[in-house]
Amino acid sequence: MRQSITILGIESSCDDTAAAIVRDGPEGRQILANVVEGQTSLHAAFGGVVPEIAARAHAERVDGCVSKAMAEAGLGFGDLDAVAVTAGPGLIGGVMAGVMCGKGISAATGLPLIGVNHLAGHALTPRLTDGLEFPYIMLLVSGGHCQYLRVDGADDFTRLGGSIDDAPGEAFDKVAKLLGLPQPGGPAVEAAARKGDAKRFALPRPLMDRPGCDMSFSGLKTALLRARDKVIAEKGGLTLADRADLCAGFQAAVTDVFAEKTRRALALAPVGALAVAGGVAANLAIRAELETVCAAAGVRFLAPPLALCTDNAAMIAWAGIERFRTGARDDLTLSARPRWPLDQSSPALLGSGKKGAKL
Q: Name the site residues for Zn ion (rule: CB under 5 A).
A: 311
Cβ proximity to ligand KG4: between 6 and 13 the closer is 13
**Sequential DSSP letters for 327-347:** T--B-TT----S---SSTTSP
Verify binding: residue 242, ligand KG4, rule CB under 6 A. Answer: no
- How far from each other are the two terminal CA atoms of the chain, in whole angstroms? 37
Least CB distance to Zn ion at residue 140 (A): 8
**Least gap, CB of 101 to ligand KG4 (angstroms):** 20
Least Å distance, CB 176 to ligand KG4, is 7
Report whether 221 contacts 166 (CB < 8 A). Answer: yes
Closest CB 287 distance from ligand KG4, rounded Å: 9
Q: Stretches 154-162, 184-192, 199-207, 216-224: which one binds ligand KG4 (CB under 6 A)?
A: 184-192
Q: Is 278 in the site for ligand KG4 (CB under 6 A)?
A: yes
Neighbour-count burial for 77-90, b at 16+ CB within 10 Å, e otherwise: eeebbbbbbbbbbb
Of 23-31, 164-172, 240-248, 325-333, which segment contacts ligand KG4 by CB under 6 A?
A: 164-172
What's the DSSP call for residue 28? E
Binds ligand KG4 by CB under 6 A, chosen from 9, 121, 169, 338: 169
* Cβ nearer to ligand KG4, comparing 269 with 349: 349
> Which among Zn ion, ligand KG4, none contacts residue 186 (Cβ within 5 to 8 A by kind)?
ligand KG4
- Residues 203, 298: Cα–Cα separation, whole Å: 30
Interface with ligand KG4 by CB under 6 A: which range of 95-103, 204-212, 233-241, 273-281? 273-281
CA–CA distances in Å: residue 188 to residues 18, 114, 226: 26, 38, 20
Q: Is the dihedral of CA 178, 183, 184, 187 positive or negative?
A: negative
**For ligand KG4, which is the closer residue by CB, 98 or 143?**
143
Binding of ligand KG4 at residue 165 (CB under 6 A)?
Answer: no
Closer residue to ligand KG4, CB minimum distance, 181 or 213: 181
Beta bridge partner(s), residue 18:
11, 36
Closest separation in Å from C-beta 355 to ligand KG4: 5
If binding is defined by CB under 6 A, does position 144 make contact with ligand KG4? yes
Whether 281 and 229 have beta carbons less than 8 Å apart is answered as: no
Site for ligand KG4 contains 94 (CB under 6 A):
no
Residue 280 binds to ligand KG4 (criterion: CB under 6 A): yes
Candidates 304, 9, 260, 322; CA nearest to 138 is: 304
State in angstroms the smallest separation of the CB of 218 from ligand KG4. Answer: 14
Laid out side by side, the sheet with 82-88 consists of 28-38, 16-25, 5-11, 82-88, 113-117
Q: Which of 40, 66, 29, 41 is nearest to 313 (CA)?
A: 66
Bridging pattern class, strands 146-153 and 136-141: antiparallel
> Least distance in Å: CB of 329 to ligand KG4?
28
Q: Which of 202, 200, 207, 275 is CA-nearest to residue 244?
A: 200
Q: Applying CB under 6 A, which residues contact ligand KG4?
A: 14, 142-144, 169-170, 172-173, 184-187, 190, 278-280, 282-283, 310-311, 355
